């Protein structure tokens, strides 16, 4: 179970970092909104929250690796 939550933490962290760095590209490619800056801001905030959640999951389950 600890290995699974560690794996989920890594996946969540990677998704969060991807959302932070590619937010503008993702908004232009997949969404057709009139306010692109607010959509980019939303994706970056969501990516930050995902990255924090992933980092917490990794730090809590670090003993599964060792």
pLDDT tens by residue, 22-60? 999 999 888 887 888 889 999 999 999 999 999 999 998
Question: Considering the entire predicted model, what is its pTM?
Answer: 0.85
Q: What pLDDT does residue 1 have?
A: 82
Q: What angle do CA 36, 20, 17 make, to 5 degrees?
A: 155
CA atoms of 43 and 52, how far apart (whole Å): 14
Residue 18 has pLDDT above 70, yes or no: yes
**Contact at 8 Å (CB) between 3 and 11?**
no
């Amino acid at each position: 179970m600890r290995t699974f939550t560690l794996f989920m933490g890594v996946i969540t962290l990677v998704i969060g970092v991807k959302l932070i760095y590619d937010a503008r590209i993702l908004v232009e490619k997949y969404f057709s909104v009139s306010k692109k800056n607010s959509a980019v801001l939303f994706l970056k905030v969501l990516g930050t929250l995902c990255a924090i959640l992933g980092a917490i999951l990794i730090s809590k389950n670090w003993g599964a690796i060792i």
